[in-house]
Every structure is written in C-alpha cells, then in structure tokens.
Structure 1
C-alpha cells in the first residue's frame, strides 16, 4: 500500500503536541499530510497552546508555537483524501461550529475512512454524529459529550488507545506512541527494522 493522503483540520489554540507530532510523524513515514484551518490559506499560521498539569484541578494553558498551515482550507476536496486527523486543544470547540468543517468530517465518517482523533478533537465527531455505538475515548472532560452522542465511551489512561474499526482515539498526547502506531496499522503502513 502506498503513501496516503491525509487531511488534518486544525484551529487556533489547538494543542501544540497534538498538532505538531502527528503532522511531522505521518510525513516522516512517507504520508502526504495537508494541515488546514477554516478561513486560512497555505502559509498562514495557527497559534497553538501547550496544556499541562501544574498542580491545579485542571490543566493550565501555556503559549505554544505558531503552526504554519501547508494547504488552503478552501482548496480541500475531501473525496481525494484517504484519512483524517483531528487534534485536540481548544480549536475543536469552535471548529465544530463551522458548517464546512462538519461537512468535511461527515464525509470521512460516512465513507468509513480512517480517522485518528485525540483529546478534544472528538468534540468535532460528536457534533457531526455517526459515532453512535462506536467504542472510543477522549479527554475525560469530553466523556459526557461522547455518551450523549451515543458512543461507547471508555475512560482509559492517557497513554492508552481505543480502536473501533477505522476509528483510532486516545485521551491526550501521552498516548501518541500507541495512537500513531494503531493509526499506521489502519492505514496499512508497515515499518520494518532490518
């Protein structure tokens, strides 16, 4: 199986690691990743945020990087993509309100194309629908939304992954290794060590 064409939908103040790491790792193994944001063009940036625990009851948001988009949102033709990546952070809370984002994501859900979603990225899937009966995970604060959307939500450790068919999910960036390995398996990507 050759290189896949993957769409990544990002938004302002998405989680830095959940954007940067899959964007770079998937390209490193030969896939073509287009990172896009509504109302932005190739070469423009999205500010990211780093979410970390520093002893408070919830995470603290710190300034991340300016992530440079490598494709224009308005040029996306979803039927030409093999898979979708939905990073977390604050971006998904407003991305799920954008009808164009919803229509793009709906295509991947309805066509049962591979989807890797992490953390708050699952909020977009909940808004789209089509996760009824799907076994998945998300950031724990999104658990009630997943249950209300009809998903079989699993509260797992942040280092763990949940796979249901072509849907691969993890609660947060500590799960990158297993999440990306599982997604590569769904994509049919084989890595050998000689």
Structure 2
C-alpha cells in the first residue's frame, strides 16, 4: 500500500483532516500528518464548517488532532502521495516555502495529490495547476483560474480526477473524493 503525507495546520477543517486520515489507514495505507513548526505528538486545533443556508459556510470549534509526524524531519521523496485538507490552514500554509517545495515535489514527480475545499490555495501558490481541472470551495475559483487551472464547478458531493490530481469542493464529497484518490494509489 501507499505512504500518504498530509500537510495540515491549525484550523484545518475537522472532517477534511480526520476522515481522510482514518479512512486511508482503514484501507491499508500508511498516513503521516505533519504541520510546520510542530512535531509528532503535538496537536492542532480544527474547525467544523457547515452549510446552513447562509451565503458562505459557518465555522464552529472542532476537535484537537494529534500529529503523527514531525514536519522538520519529512522528506517528500519518502512518500507516494500527498493529501491537502481544506479549512483555514491552507491560507497561511501557502506562505511557508518548505510547504510549497513539498507540494511542487509531488506535482513534479507526478505523484497522486488529493486536495479538498481550500486546499486548492496551496496548489495555486505552488504553481502546479496550469492546464489542470481543479475543484475547490467556490470562493477559491479565482485562485484556481489565476494559477492557470480550469475551475471545475461540480456538485458539493462530487470529485474530479485530472491526471495525478483529485479535487473536491468540500467534505460532503468524501466518498467520491477518497474513492478516486484510492484508485490512483492502487
């Protein structure tokens, strides 16, 4: 099975972090979750985003998530695939040059990459979307387009695969998003 790296951070979307972490392990994959400036055993705070009929999602406190890897010790060459959860974490993670370098490694090596919701912000900042169809939370559509990608405006419970990239608008797409990502890992 594959060794999957999750790059995450404080106020990541709870479901988009925990569900893939557990599901991929249940499928037999080895999963390592890391956060810049944190070590294995440290925790990050998460947020729960709900769609309740407002003009955008609402945000509530989520669970604390315990990291099982140390960011400073990670070598992306040791991993088969990358998963980028959404929430607010990608907006500041994209400012970290080491994170950008890691994302670019996976793209340049044509390794499977899964991103959901605001995870597209990291892909855009890493300049790896040129010519790719990419779904994301609709508020990220301008970033996808400005990065040279084609924004895939799909239902919130759908996902799209373009080559090595699997993307989805938000956590309601988990069954389809993780199924498509697992196909790339097989």
Equivalent in the alignment of 2:82:
84
Correspondences of 1:61-100 after superposition (within 5 Å): 61-100=59-98
Question: How much has 1:108 moved relative to structure 2?
Answer: 0.3
User: 1:56 and 2:54 equivalent?
Assistant: yes
1:16 CA displacement:
0.2
The alpha carbon displacement at 1:54 in A equals 2.9
**Aligned with residue 135 of structure 2, among 122, 134, 137:** 137
SS of alignment partner, residue 36 of structure 2: coil
* Matching residue within 135, 150, 163 for 1:152: 150
Encode CA deviations 1:59-104: one digit per residue, 9 max, x unaligned. 1110000000001001101101000000000000000000110111
Aligned to 1:108: 106
Residue of structure 2 aligned with 1:25, choices 13, 23, 26: 23
**Unpaired stretches in structure 1, ≥5 consecutive residues:** 189-194
CA distance in 2, matches of 1:178, 1:8: 18
Specify every segment of 5 or more residues in structure 2 that has no aligned partner in the other structure, as ranges: none
Does 1:170 pair with 2:168? Answer: yes
SS at match of 1:180: helix
Q: Counterparts of 1:55 and 1:185 in 2: how far apart (Å)?
A: 33
1:130: how far off?
2.0
Alpha-carbon distance, 1:56 to partner: 2.4
Residue 4 of structure 1 corresponds to 2
Cα distance in 1 between the residues matched to 2:64 and 2:166? 27
Deviation at 1:131, TM superposition (A): 1.0
Q: Which has the larger radius of gyration?
A: 1
- Please point out which of 25, 42, 45 is paired with 1:44: 42
Q: Distance in 2 between matches of 1:154 and 1:55?
A: 22
TM-score (norm 1): 0.94
How many residues end up aligned between the 2 structures? 186
In the TM superposition, residue 154 of structure 1 has moved relative to its aligned partner by 1.1
